[in-house]
Structure formats: C-alpha cells, structure tokens
Amino acid sequence: NGNDQLATAAAQGKEDLVEELLHRGVPANGLNSLGRSSIQVMKMGNPNIARTLIQWGADPRAQDPRTGTSPAHDAIREGFLDTLQVLLAGGASLYEPLDNYGLRPIDWA
C-alpha cells in the first residue's frame, strides 16, 4: 500500500520517491503495516526527507508504538544533529515525549 511504500522510501533515503508519493496523495502521517509513520522510520542521516515529510504534515513528535521514542530520540541517539535541527524547527522537543523508559530525547544525548 502507499503508506508502506512511503515508509520504505523514507527509510531508504529516496528523496525523489518520497516527494512523488506525497504528491500522489499518500498521507505523510499514514502508518505502515508495522504501525509506524514515515517520519519514525526515515533515514535519520537525511534531513531533507525529514523536512519534506514535515512540510507535508508529518508529526515530528510521533511516538513509536513499541518503544515510545520519537524521531528526536532517534536522531540524538544516532548523532544526526542536522536532522535533529530540522525536527526541532518542525515542532519536535528535546524535553518530550517520554519514551517507555521515562527518558526524554535530551536524555539520550
């Protein structure tokens, strides 16, 4: 389905395909078959994908259904500060949400 295609394209860092799918009407906040949105599974080393998804309405505070982590948790944990800056500009926070261990994104720094 379109949500799975968008999530896969975002995870693989395929900027052109992400944009094409969004233009075709695939929702930026749609969930893939694992219950995750594209911004949750995107390639963290690609801030352009984060920017595009946010511009199309993706929620940068979306929490992973299994771990409670947000994209900001992931970007900090993996050291992708350029992507973190895009997430913060799009509405993410260093101080919330709490993940399933009670940790804020900043706690992973």
Question: Which of 40, 42, 7, 12 lies closest to 26, judged by CA?
Answer: 7
Phi, psi values for residue 31, rounded to 5°: -100, 140
DSSP state, residue 14: -
Question: Which of 32, 35, 29 lies closest to 68, judged by CA?
Answer: 35
Per-residue pLDDT tens over the stretch 23-81: 999 999 999 999 999 999 999 889 999 999 999 999 999 999 999 999 999 999 999 99
Reading the block at residue 73, the tokens are 């948790």
Q: What is the mean pLDDT of residues 73-94?
A: 97
H helices present in the chain, as ranges = 2-11, 15-23, 38-41, 47-55, 71-78, 81-89
pLDDT at residue 80, rounded to an integer: 96
Residue range(s) defining the domain that contains residue 12? 2-108
Question: What total of structural domains would you count in the chain?
Answer: 1
pLDDT at residue 30, rounded to an integer: 94
DSSP state, residue 80: -
Q: At 10, which CATH number?
A: 1.25.40.20
For the CA atoms of 12, 94, 67, 3, what is the dihedral angle to 10 degrees?
Answer: -40
